[in-house]
Amino acid sequence: MIFLLDDDPSTPFPDVSLAEREPDGLLAVGGDLTPQRLIHAYRQGIFPWFTDGEPILWWSPDPRTVLYPKYIRISRSLRKTLRKTVYRVSFDHDFEGVIQGCAAPRDKSPGTWLVPEMIEAYRQQHLMGMAHSVEVWQDNDLIGGLYGMAVGGVFFGESMFSRESDSSKIALVHLSRKLADWGFSMIDCQVYTKHLASLGAEEIPRTTFCSNLEQWTRLPGRPGSWSSEGKVYPETERC
């Protein structure tokens, strides 16, 4: 059974246990991407994911892929990359550039799930201090990054991109370090990929994930802009 949402953003989502097994995690259709509905969705372990021409689709897959910031895995080759001084990392300095980089077609996929409606919704969240970006720069060129939502002590990763080798991994490593310093408990990676697994992401049951959300999204977190963190250069002592 797939639930239809009305136009009232305060309408509650159905329980995630009612999500479809095939396609995995499809829970509801319709509604809108207002800030109130989006934040409510994330707190329940639900996220939007749809392509151009489709209605808004809401998902909560089982199992869920997560990464614990303190335990990010850094390979030997990535450690060497992190020691280089040819790049720098910033937070919330170019959200627009990052989300457009994530929306660009990939080599094996000419389309994009980041339709204009989604981009505008996350722009609003960024202006509210809820959505954040991590940028990786080489000279003055944006070569990679990621963005997502921060609710309490959980960062909900949405997408990442790379224009140079390992640049999205660099962004995730620096984000994980900051989140660990700030007391964040978990990064939601949504679905499994080998790329994320190589960095220590793991699959956990949806029941465990939602139980953690109930506790960790109540933490103080880091509201507001993260741009005051300024530019971060490679920290060789931490590699």
Instruction: Look at residue 106 and tell me whether its pLDDT is greater than 90.
Output: no
* Residues forming beta bridges with residue 133, ordered by sequence position: 147
Closest CA to 62 of 157, 192, 156, 196: 192
Task: Give mean pLDDT, residues 5-22.
Answer: 94
Q: Show the domains of the chain with their CATH numbers.
A: 3-61 (3.30.70.3550), 65-238 (3.40.630.70)
* pTM above threshold 0.85: yes
> Which residues have CB under 8 Å from 226's CB, separation 6+?
91, 92, 132, 178
User: What pLDDT is recorded for position 228?
Assistant: 85
* pLDDT beyond 60 at 82: yes
Phi/psi for 102 (5° steps) reads -70, -30
Mean local confidence (pLDDT), 167-171? 96
The pLDDT value recorded for residue 238 is 47
Written as six digits, the tokens of 44 are 């329940």
- Residues 126, 119 contacting (CB under 8 angstroms): no
pLDDT of residue 107: 66
Q: Tens of pLDDT along 176-216?
A: 999 999 999 999 999 999 999 999 999 999 999 999 999 99
pLDDT value at 53 more than 80: yes
% of the chain at pLDDT higher than 70: 95
- HSE of 23 in the Cβ direction (CA atoms, 13 Å)? 10
Per mean pLDDT, which range of 5-9, 22-26, 67-71, 174-178 is the poorest?
Answer: 5-9
% helix, strand, coil for the chain, step of 5: 35, 25, 40
**Residue of 120 and 233 predicted with greater confidence:** 120
Which pLDDT band holds residue 84 (cuts at 50, 70, 90)? confident
Alpha helices in the chain (DSSP H): 35-43, 76-82, 95-103, 116-127, 167-182, 194-197, 206-216
